[in-house]
Chains A and B, each alone.
Chain A
């Protein structure tokens, strides 16, 4: 199985390649990608060098252009696709219908993957994208169980890629407005969920208070992990009850489900975390590469070592082992 790894910086890209990544995904330093954080991403020269480095070592580079163009500003996204083709990226990861059409028309030789932001969660939808825009691979949303993924793969020839490690989004990606509500900036158009310019951590009365856009979203007592700064993982009080309204502050770790995902017909395993460090990328890639190599060789899966790297420092197998529907 193919390991698809995140890279927020050229250093992370090199770390991923050295650690054994088959494929790296990354984005340009602007709002065309969904991790438009300060200090992250690649200018055009860095992307050219990163792709050349990866290709020299037998790895592929996918460029995420997976936000939704703002009306009147489409040229920024068109330029990103054109540059991805010029820089010889192995594929672009797109979500917007108009962009998919543009890429298919103007750059037919550039391989197109469907981003998780498109939230394509059934075979009919995926086959539509393939027939209409020539999409070769779909990144499945993190709401599907393993049997549901198997059902999709039975009905499509499009390759499927699934998240196996990292942050989880609530509900269908690309349609969440929680961060927009609190900050006035849309993650889906500007590329930043919970923009750090709107995040505030402060010690008050012996607790660490996390706020987004002025809204208190969590308090952590001394010794508890720092709260994750998104509304979806916030802890809220209504009446005399307090709890995680949307989802627990846990992140995905499906390491032990890799054999089932392989049986379900999955082509590629995706690691989330372009905002994480090169050190994180290297550790996670090494673990997942060891796991898929063990699987290919018929050896037992190695024990997981990744828990402490999880956001919120707690992990789940998410919807893959769904018990709550």
Chain B
């Protein structure tokens, strides 16, 4: 029995066009700040990475004009954007929607991998550790951005809602109610 493939949409072409002229150092600094905020709020994520907390991960959103290099060292995580062709311990490539869906628990990593919506190259163990650590952290990028926005959290929340509606990308974690 061969089921229908997962419906992974690609990012709107306009998004890639809009991102292309932006200065990568500026975007890198913003993503590094976001990652450090995540590190402070989710220390178990880095603990789960174990020996791979110092690995170099290349995340390749194949429908965007850059790749993301992540050095997740818990003390001082760093993110740098590059124009393609970066070397790392492991590379995880796929449409931005698949990568964001993984972060927000909308998709199962194994299902994406076996359907070949995601491609892993290099150290499989490092990729698996990152996948498992992120899955357990139950991240919400929208909430993290709001936490970073201080008094502008409300405005940021509205901007995220608009961006989510316009692009169809999963930018927040679905609300599952309060379970304690």
Contacts and interface: CB of A to CB of B under 8 A. Distances in A.
Nearest to A208: B116
A20 interface: no
Interface of B: 1-6, 48-50, 52, 102, 105-111, 113-116, 119-121, 123-133, 135-138, 176, 179-180
Contacts of A276: 108-110
A275 interface: yes
B137 A11 contact: yes
19 contacts: A11-B136, A37-B132, A38-B126, A39-B131, A199-B125, A200-B124, A201-B124, A202-B121, A225-B115, A225-B116, A226-B113, A228-B114, A276-B110, A277-B109, A280-B110, A307-B1, A308-B5, A308-B115, A311-B110
A278 B128 CA distance: 14
Interface in A6-23: 8-12, 14-15, 17-18
A283 B107 CA distance: 10
B54 to A, nearest CB: 14
A187 interface: no
Q: Is the interface of A mostly helix, strand, loop or mixed?
A: mixed
Contacts of A56: 180
Q: Which of A201, A226, A275, A276 has the most CB of B within 10 A?
A: A226
| Shortest Cβ-Cβ A-B pairs, 10 listed | A39-B132, A9-B136, A38-B129, A307-B3, A39-B129, A280-B108, A196-B125, A308-B3, A196-B124, A199-B124
A200 B179 CA distance: 39
A69 interface: no
A277 B106 CA distance: 10
A79 interface: no
Interface string A236-259: 000000000000000000000000
Contacts of B131: 39, 277
A174 interface: no
Interface of A: 8-12, 14-15, 17-18, 37-40, 53, 56-57, 195-197, 199-203, 208, 220, 223-226, 228-229, 275-280, 283, 307-315
A312 B109 CA distance: 13
A172 B2 CA distance: 27
Contact of B48 (A39, A202, A277, A313): A39
A39 B130 CA distance: 7
Given A225-B116, A280-B111, A313 B136 contact: no
Given A11-B136, A275-B110, A279-B105, A38 B52 contact: yes
Contacts of A283: 108
Contacts of A313: 2-3, 111, 114-115
A10 to B, nearest CB: 6
A250 to B, nearest CB: 8
A312 B114 CA distance: 6
A216 B177 CA distance: 46
Contacts of A200: 124
B132 A201 contact: no
A18 B1 CA distance: 30
Contact of B128 (A17, A39, A228): A39
A219 B180 CA distance: 46
Contacts of A229: 124
A188 to B, nearest CB: 20
A208 B113 CA distance: 12
